[in-house]
Structure 1
Amino acid sequence: MRKITEQEINQIFDFTKKHYVEFYDVQVELVDHLANAIEDQWKTNPNISFEDALQIEFKKFGIFGFTGLIEQKQAQLHKHYNKMLLREVLRFISLPKVIITAALYLVIYFFIENTGSLGEVITLGFLVISFLFFMVDGFRFIFKIKKEQKKQGRSWLIQSVAFSVFSLPTVGLSGGYFSIVNQLFAQNLNISNSGIYFLTTFVVLQIILMFVFYRVIKPSLNQSIKETEKRFQFA
């Protein structure tokens, strides 16, 4: 039975690149799948050409080609990290961490209530600094990955997912930041009791998200990227 040659393997790599597969790990997976599928065709039809066999396998991916597969893999990774984030956050409202969360909430609430406008300004300053820290750290993280991609001449699917996951703290909470700023300045830094409850809840959520993101999510992303790089280092 005829086997795929090294030249044909390279042709399949070029074929995946021409069809907008930019991630090297996905390219390798597709090349392996297509090569095996073509060899299976040769078992039953040894006279079919390599090019025709390749086109037959490509058509099996549907009208969107490889794009649908990439989007599916990205969605799976996003789901994985979203579930990880939710799971870790929920731990802070279940025993024993709920005690820490409640204590933190009370400390922040009484601090804001008893310090008046000064406490509100300090709390707002904390939120603004946190927001800026997330943004700067996110840009540094993305720049580092881009630099590695340029150095290696390759990119990984997990890196693209890391970009969007890393934007969650800034994009996801930006609406809350602006809502708080508007409320504080609209009331001349003298918010109502209900406003203090909202502000305290938002600050506690911010602290929990920062803890989870930098203690769990970011290390997991970095580890996944390193494992992918190691796996394909000599490929």
Structure 2
Amino acid sequence: MTLNQEQLFEIKAFIEKKGFTYIDVQMEILDHIASLVEEKLNANPNLSFADATAETYESFCITGLHNISNEIISSISKRYSRYFWKSFASLFGFRYILISCFFVLAAYKMLAFIGKDDFYKFNIICMLVAIVGGLFAGFLIKDYKKYLSFKSGISFLSFLMTGLFFTNLLINKVPASITVFSLNAWQVAAAGSVVLFVVYFISAFKTAKTGMNESKSLIEKYKILYA
């Protein structure tokens, strides 16, 4: 037996009362409960929907649903973490290592041209742009904040400020006069941090995009329940 829309709404209301806020987490729990209810109804055709749901709810201990929720949250978070680090590592793989080295060299030459003070100012501007961009994006994507898949996917972008801060720290701490193998130590450190920042940004953006696409799919899949 397949549950109808009204019955699914009843289960959804029960889940919401339990305090689960993320829509994709709610849907995973709903799918789990609905499957158990359908099994009971198929096993005993004389059992009413109300009795089947009551028995299903009683089968969970006090922390039963929260344990299921924690497993779902952990699974989603781990999935996006694996995706991010796989993407990050791939950009240093055989296919991209020469490109990465080229960009380190290009950044090194650029830093020699613009100088330490101007590069510091450039980083400050980037930090301000990142803050303003983050605030603006928050208004555009507010509907997606209801999905844990989106939050997990975009979470890595929140660490971009840390990357910019680390770059500024290198600028301030490494003296411009020190050389290593005839290379300016400050330029090498700053160039390396710039390339790492760019690679991190690309990986974080790809992860955020994946989270957004998955959230879009969930919106389409469950638009009837959340219309």
Deviations 1:24-83 (A, max 9, x none): 333233233223313434536949934640332332xxx534333333333333323332
Q: Shift of residue 224 of structure 1?
A: 1.7
Contact 2:88/2:200 (8 A) holds in 1: yes
Residue from 218, 222, 227 that aligns with 1:232? 222
Question: 2:104 aligned with 1:133, yes or no?
Answer: no
Residue from 195, 198, 212 that aligns with 1:207? 198
Name the SS for the 1:233 alignment partner.
coil
Contact 2:77/2:152 (8 A) holds in 1: yes
Contact 2:123/2:168 (8 A) holds in 1: no
**1:161/1:67 Cα in 2 relative to 1: closer, same or farther (>3 Å)?**
farther
Contact 1:19/1:65 (8 A) holds in 2: no
TM-score, length basis structure 2: 0.75
Q: 5 Å matches for 1:33-112? A: 33-41=32-40, 43=43, 46=47, 49-50=51-52, 52-59=54-61, 63-112=62-111
Provide the residue aligned with 1:197 in structure 2: 188
Residue from 138, 141, 151 that aligns with 1:142? 138
Corresponding pairs, count: 217
Name the SS for the 2:56 alignment partner.
helix
Q: Flag structure 2 segments of 5+ consecutive residues without an equivalent.
A: 180-184
Provide the residue aligned with 1:180 in structure 2: 170
- The one-letter code matched in structure 1 to 2:57 is Q
**1:35/1:209 Cα in 2 relative to 1: closer, same or farther (>3 Å)?**
closer
Q: Shift of residue 202 of structure 1?
A: 0.8
TM-score, length basis structure 1: 0.73
Take 2:91 and 2:198, find their aligned partners in 1: how far apart are those partners? 11
Q: Shift of residue 180 of structure 1?
A: 2.8
Contact 2:108/2:187 (8 A) holds in 1: yes
**1:105/1:12 Cα in 2 relative to 1: closer, same or farther (>3 Å)?**
same
Deviations 1:61-106 (A, max 9, x none): xx53433333333333332333232223323322332111111112
Q: Shift of residue 182 of structure 1?
A: 4.2
- The one-letter code matched in structure 2 to 1:231 is K
Provide the residue aligned with 2:117 in structure 1: 121
**1:29/1:219 Cα in 2 relative to 1: closer, same or farther (>3 Å)?**
closer
Take 2:91 and 2:31, find their aligned partners in 1: how far apart are those partners? 44
- The one-letter code matched in structure 1 to 2:141 is I
